[in-house]
Structures are given as structure tokens and as C-alpha cells.
Structure 1
Amino acid sequence: MDIYVFDGTLEGLLTAVFYYYQRKSSAVRLVSSEHYHPDVFHPAFEVISEDEKAKRVWSGLGKKLDKEWMMHFYKSFLSGQPDTFQDLFEFSKYIIDNIPGAEDNYGNKYVLSISQMSHKVHREKHRMEAFIRFQKTGDGIFYAHIEPDFNVLPLLIRHFKNRYADQKWIIYDLKRKYGLYYDLEKVEEITFDFTTEMSPALNALPEQVLDPQEELYTLLWKDYFKSTNIPARKNMKLHIRHVPKRYWKYLSEKQE
């Protein structure tokens, strides 16, 4: 079995698929450079990402798959899971080597795996859209940081750009150390140095950078939440099912 080491990008994964056919490998274990441990007895082939090769593979998949399945592929990749990278590699081979419609065969382990992972990533994306809470800074930018299980930031752009089109905002992923900044015209990727010391809880920005009214807004929201809560109808089991505890750190109404 050949070992292919790629850079962890989507382009790198697709380039690896291209080299599988070009090099006529019999079987491949695909590993990202982040998770690769060199072995003198099993030398690896280093996959250098090449846009042209990646585009050819992506185009080939697009001729066999509809837009929904292409999105399943992309969402699965955003999971960042080592096993999923291998599944995507094998899924690509399966689709390329078979007639159109092969993606409907859920008896194939890779078809099933990609479908299931895509739904997990989509669920995480949906929860981030619902649970993100912004804080207004002194310079008028609305800021929020998150620590999602998967790299869902790219999937959040359309929702927040449409919903908050009239205000500048930043959503920062503390785990992956990058964020999105919307300047009223476009969304661009940004990085900060201070995030290594940031708390994953909401209200973690220093008071000196917040808008003077931000604390008041938070208190008003907490009071509203308490006033609409009906203790007699409290059902924590159902509540936790819809709002898992790992997301409570984003909700101001859950902060003491």
C-alpha cells in the first residue's frame, strides 16, 4: 500500500486522487501532513497541491454528481477528520470508476460515511447560526468567537452576510485560529494573535474594547429571557436535546 501525504487542503486531497490514477497505485492510505508520522520502512509520496489537477478531478466528480452531493463532499471535508479524508479519497475513486448514480448506493461504506458526516457538519453549522451571540465593540464592530466541532466558518458566510448586511461583524474560530470579517461589502478571512489567551465563554472581550452600552444590552436580554420563561413548563431533558450543554457558553442567558 502506498502512503500519500497531503497538505490538508481540499485542493491537496483532489490532487492526491489525480496522482492515484497517474501513478497507477493499487491502494493508497491518505494522510494529512498534520497527522503523518514518518516511517523509514514505509516511505511516503508527498502530494503537492496543484490547482489544475484538483480542478480536473473536481470537474470529473461534478459530471457524475449533482450539486447536493458536491456539497456533501465539501461539508464532509470541512469536518477535518483524518478518517473522513480517507473516506473522501475512496468515495472519489468509487464515483469516478462507476456509472452515474453510484452515489445512491448506500450499501457502499464510503457513500454512507460521506452522507452521514455531511449531515453532522450541517447540523453543527445550523447550531452555530442559532447560538452565536455578538458583542458590540467600541468601534462599532459586532464580535463573536466560537469553538465548533467542525470547520463550519465557510458555511456561515451566506447566513450572516444576509442577516446582518447593515453592520460590520467578526466571527472568530478560536480552535482553528482564523475568522471572518464583514466590512459591509465583502467577507474576508482574518487572523488574530491574541486568541491564544481568549476564553471560549461569551462576554470574554476586555471591557475597555466593548461599547459602553453592551453590558446593559446583555442585562436586558437576560431579564427578557427570564420573563418569558415558565418554570412550570420546564423540561430540561428536551431543552438539552435542542440546546446541548456544549453550546451554553455562547448564550448570554446562560451566563451567571
Structure 2
Amino acid sequence: MMTFLIYDGSFEGLLTAIYEVYALKLVDVRIITEKEESSQLFSTEMMITTNDDKANKVAKKITNILGSTGFRSLWKAMLSELPGTADIILSVVKYAISTGKNVIKDYGHPAVLALQETLKKLGREQHRMTAFVRFELAQDGVFYATIEPDFDVLPLISNHFRKRYADQKWLIFDLKRNYGIFYDLQRVITVEVHQTLPDNSPSLMRLDWDETEKEFQNLWKNYFKATNIVSRKNTKLHLQHVPRRYWKYLIEKQ
């Protein structure tokens, strides 16, 4: 009989669920969130309460086998939020524990291969966000940017922007997940917005822009228009490098 372990969607919650798989000696098991479909005949469901002690024990065991890099790969895969990712991670962990070896590059194993494919997708989205994020200067002196990535890549891009824009305050807000990262010239902190406007847009994003920001945007648009050579226009190639769904981040496309 299939057993569904339902967890809160956090990485610590997943590690707790993996702990229970071994503690309860479950064989036919799937790990899902409440949002995922679990209705099957002849199956049971168990709600998993995140437990830091259990999660830490599993984390230590995984790190001992896969190393810190392998463990981080499992954490990164969770950021994809793709259905079935928890089951893939469980399969990789079970394979690693059964062999006692670092299997993170054993692409002959279907779960390891699926994990690497997930990481590739995540890596592409991470790269695009670092390339296409455009900041705008508000009257409070903070540079703001909004994004709506397919995956939860904010934890992966924070270090890039902290190093690149170390001398200015900035905030990157994920509209899809309703949280952001703010750099105060010393550290990057996570911020959340709970109050929204009637149109469901976070009120934080309704800002008054600095007058110089408007001038710079106009200058950039004029520069982009002036340097665009119509005879050399290759829309197909352009879309390969800059997919249309990222145009909303680019000032020159507004």
C-alpha cells in the first residue's frame, strides 16, 4: 500500500519526512505537499510536522556521504518547486545511503539524472535573472527591482548582486512568491509583504521614482533605439537569447 507523507514544502520539512521514511521503514512511499494530488485507492496519508532535530540528523548523514556540495545540490533542487522533486531527492538519498558512496554524479541512475536535469533548469533561470534584472531608483534612495521567475531563485542570486552593487541599497522583490531580498550596505536580509492592494499587487511596489531615474530611462531608450540597426534585425536569434517573457524586466522593451 502506498503511503503519502505530506509536508510543509520547506527543505527542513522534507528532511524530516525522509527521517520518517527510515524510522517507520516505509517502502512504497511518496513525499508531497498539501497542494499536490495524493488521492489514490488503497493508500494512506501521514502529516509530517517539521522537526529540526530529525532534519539535522538526516542533513548530517547526507553530508557525510554526498559532501557539502552534494547536500547543497539537493537543497537547490527544492527551489525549483517542480512536482515530484521531493520524490527525486528521496530516491537519491536512498541510493546514496544504500551504497555508502557519493552518487551525485552517477548519471546512470534515473533519480540522479532527474536531479541534474532539475539543476540545469534552475541554473538557466538563475543566469537569466542575473542578466535581466533592472533596478529603478526611488525617492528614498533605494534601487528596486521586481521579478517573477519560474523558480525560487532569490536565494541563489543574492550573493551576485551583493558583490556587484555593494555600494548601494537595493531590494529585489519576487512578485510571484511575495517576498524579496534587501541589501542595506552591510548584509542581505529577507523581507516579506503581507499587505496588498485590491489588485493583489504588493503595496511596497507602488513607489515614487526619483526624477533622475526617469531621465536615465529615457536616455537608455533613446540609445537603444539609435543603435538598433533595422537591416540586421534577427528576431529569431534575439528571442533565443532574450525570451519574450523576460521583456517586462527590460527598460528598453517598455
TM normalised by structure 1 equals 0.90
SS in 1 for 2:104: helix
Select between 38-47 and 210-219 the one with higher mean Cα deviation: 38-47
SS in 2 for 1:102: coil
- Superposition deviation, residue 24 in structure 1: 0.7
Which residue in the other structure is 1:58 paired with? 59
Give RMSD over aligned pairs: 2.2
Letter of the 1:44 partner, please give it. E
1:1-256 aligned within 5 A: 1-35=2-36, 42-192=43-193, 193-194=195-196, 197=199, 206=206, 209-255=208-254
Q: Which runs of 5+ in 1 are unaligned?
A: none
- Superposition deviation, residue 233 in structure 1: 2.1
The answer to whether the 8 Å contact 1:146/1:174 transfers is yes
- Superposition deviation, residue 229 in structure 1: 2.3
- Superposition deviation, residue 98 in structure 1: 1.2
Letter of the 1:138 partner, please give it. Q
TM normalised by structure 2 equals 0.91
Q: Distance in 1 between matches of 2:32 and 2:91?
A: 13
- Superposition deviation, residue 103 in structure 1: 2.8
Change (3 A) 1:78 1:216: same
- Superposition deviation, residue 40 in structure 1: 9.6
SS in 1 for 2:160: helix
The answer to whether the 8 Å contact 1:177/1:195 transfers is no
Change (3 A) 1:99 1:196: farther
SS in 2 for 1:79: coil
Q: Distance in 2 between matches of 1:25 and 1:223?
A: 63
Q: Distance in 2 between matches of 1:254 and 1:115?
A: 33
Select between 68-77 and 141-150 the one with higher mean Cα deviation: 68-77
Q: Distance in 2 between matches of 1:42 and 1:116?
A: 30
SS in 1 for 2:120: helix
Letter of the 1:245 partner, please give it. R
Q: Deviations over 1:162-195 (max 9, x none)?
A: 1111111111111111111111111111122237
Select between 38-47 and 99-108 the one with higher mean Cα deviation: 38-47
SS in 1 for 2:5: strand
Q: Deviations over 1:83-108 (max 9, x none)?
A: 11211122111111113143332121
Q: Which runs of 5+ in 2 are unaligned?
A: none
Q: Distance in 1 between matches of 2:180 and 2:103?
A: 37
- Superposition deviation, residue 53 in structure 1: 1.4
Change (3 A) 1:199 1:215: farther
Identity between Structure 1 and Structure 2 (%): 42
- Superposition deviation, residue 232 in structure 1: 2.4
Q: Distance in 2 between matches of 1:226 and 1:165?
A: 31
Q: Distance in 2 between matches of 1:194 and 1:48?
A: 29
